[in-house]
Amino acid sequence: MSDLMECSVFFFDKRVADKIYKNKRKETVLDRVRGCITQLEKMKHPRMLEVIHGIEEGQHTLAFASEPVLASLHNILTWHSETSEN
């Protein structure tokens, strides 16, 4: 795919789940992440994140591409709290 479309790519490192959860719980968490990405692909609404390329799974990662995301909610809230203090 080389349409030169801008996008944001989200990665989930499966090794994080390995460190935090035991085997059965780890698979449940990974299934949940897969399911959430799949659901997001099906949702079509102007205020929902649009998935451009569905889930890709590697040995250690889950990833998908969406429309461009300019900032995280955490960064926006941090910026807002810092500017309101000044």
Distance CA 21, CA 41 (A): 27
* Sequence letter at residue 41: E
61-81 pLDDT, tens digit each: 999 999 999 888 888 888 888
Spatial CA neighbour of 21 closest among 11, 32, 10? 32
Percent of the chain clearing pLDDT 90 (strictly above): 50
In a domain, 1, yes or no: no
pLDDT confidence of residue 21: 83
Indicate yes or no: pTM above 0.85.
no
Q: Which domain holds residue 73?
A: 8-85
In a domain, 27, yes or no: yes
Residue 1 has pLDDT above 80, yes or no: no
Query: Which residue intervals of the chain are DSSP H helices?
Result: 14-20, 23-42, 73-85
CATH number for the domain including 27? 3.30.200
| Structural domain total, the chain | 1
Apex 66 CA angle, 3 and 83, nearest 5: 120
pLDDT confidence of residue 71: 87
